[in-house]
Structure 1
Amino acid sequence: MAAITISPVTTKAERGQWVDYVYKANAGDPNFVPQLRGEELEKITAGGNPFHEHAKCQFLLARRDGVIVGRIAALIDEQALGQPVEQGMGPGTGNWGALEAETQDIAHQLIAAAEYWLRAQGMTRVLAPMNLSVWEEPGLLVKGHDHPPTVMMGHQNPKFQPWIEAAGYIKAKNLQTYELDITKEFPPLIQRIVASGEKNPKINVRNVVLKDFAKEAAIILDILNDAWSDNWGFVPITDSEVAYTGKKLKPLIKADLVQIAEYEGEPVAFMMTLPDMNEVLAKIGPKPSPLGWIKLLLWIWRPRVKTMRVPLMGVRKKLQSSRLASQLAFMMIEYIRANSVANYGASRGEIGWILDDNQGMNSIAREIHSVVNKEYRIYEKAL
């Protein structure tokens, strides 16, 4: 059998091949949801995705007899290098992600090539997989392969877990998502907590104002960077990333699904919920036909979905671990739950990801009778 050659992506055509390989590698998986090819190309292109403004990236392709048989991305995020070591990232920490390979041997050669590049850049440790950052699709799916991912979540073949662990990687953290039947009312205790909050004149929970979306996004970012700043894996989001993400997400943002909680007039918490666009992407494919684009645009205009995903929640640090923080969270969850069912026909909610040792958020998830449906694992290894 011919030897495997691994080379960096250097041309526009090779970027296209790097993106296209994920569709080929997962073509037989009924739970894989192909993302739009144009979006995936922009994601890895400097000048498109502002992640590249503070990151070094080496995209690699594996070939046998000229045929692509694997891919990987080696990554160094300058924002992450500046974080405290005790929070997971920190000086000397590089990443790799987006691994696809036909065999374990090819996977190990790709991982070794990524590690070699990271060492050459002065890195001494790896956290992986990341695709591309902790804010996008972090971790390897280790539980929940039997159902498709929701919007902005990853999906990998179960073969990769033993392959990665055989390459010397050990668990750093697990990230969990929870699912629940949102057609059912929450337990009586939660209803009483919500009712109590509604009687408190100091509390105001409101929908975002779409015509002032840039202003609202800035409020949410301010709360997010404060609320998450001590969390494991936290990496600050830059202003250009905020603008870019806001532009990308704006078609999915519905006023009654994103809420800001104010206490004595100050924004102190938020909850963002997105209709699961993967439900329509699974039907139209990565390169939609004209009819496919029409279906997507109609769905964006008026989404009807089974699942809603809560990718982000946050409460300012000064309120965390307080009864008020839990009360605000339950109020936002209840209002968005009711809106999701009444206005979009949704029947299922997914919350996360949540760190496996985040006691506060895991407790809130359990109190509303949700259960873990997927787990993603971030691995670490010394270089």
Structure 2
Amino acid sequence: MSSIPSNLPLRNDLIGEEPYGAPQLDVPVCLNVNENPYAPDQAVCEAIAKRVLDIAPTLNRYPDREHIELRQAFSDYLERESGVRLDVDELWGANGSNEIMLQLFQAFGGPGRVALGADPTYSMYPEYARDTFTGWQLAHRNADFTLNVDALIEQIKAVKPSMVLLTSPNNPTGTPLPMADIERVLAVCESAEVTGAAEGVHPVVVIDEAYVEFRNPGTPSAVTLIKDHPNLAVSRTMSKAFAFAGARVGYLAASKGIIDCVRIVRMPYHLSAVTQAAALAAFEHTDEQLSRVEHLRQTREATAAWLKTQTYQGKPLAVAQSESNFLLFGGSFDKREAIFDELLKRGVLIRVVGPDGWLRVCMGTDEEMERFRTALTEVLRIVEAE
């Protein structure tokens, strides 16, 4: 229930709304918000502390609002991680990829504009749309959660969106997005019309790669397409694989034209000097920050295999294909809230999200995953018996 007094002039379209967010509960095993469960190494912590100490005497001055040094670090990292060198003016940072997405909606959405996604998808997208008075439409994915490219293309032609938003890997399902699918969508959008825009204006395709470092080795990133597609924007974050969720650093890779559009709507000095210093220190220790990614991939594959051996009401659990650090599982849970509650009683917090009948668990430490398996085995037996 909302605690907002009825005599406050809250926007009419926000009346009855609740703040977004997964439950924040103090439990032994938190597997609900897709964090990297491994803390930064001591060397990384010391590097962050030194960087912050170095800039502390300058905190009476505003930071570099263009964060040039950090944008150069993004460029260096992407060359290493994805094999593509982007210019500084093709990169942009913000307070997590959430702010990147909001800035994209502010720049390309608004009254009379429509953004198009493919459900199931990240549940914040419609909130960005709401907050920027942008219409929100969906094309439905295939039953296995892969992108139905033909259906999406039909929606692009019918809706004439200003933005098409796709996640790779998808959240909440973890489903990979093949490069061939992205290129088909890009090709259509390079000539598609945009409702409420002048002739010759075409949609921006936004690929949300928040979890892309967890993809299978050898899989290319959408950033490799940017030089050939000026209507492509790729959003990334340091929160997940980089073990930097608390620092709030996201970034955007796109053509200079798209970056300049985002710069128009950004708040002045939106990235603090402390945030920039911490991120630069983390990039100095990229190997350490990413050192657990391969182990988390192995944990994902082992957990998926184990889940498929479990049954509910006489049927093996379904597990969605995932190249992320989480798994969507179940498929036939008619009491998923009860399963969630019973796991929580045992100190294990996962997520009720996605289509009915499914639950999502992110990968934790080996000890946390052992507790999850033990608890789930017990809980499924109890809930089935009720």
Q: TM-score range by the shorter chain?
A: under 0.3
Compare the two structures and name the one with the higher strand fraction: 1
TM-score scaled by length of structure 1: 0.25
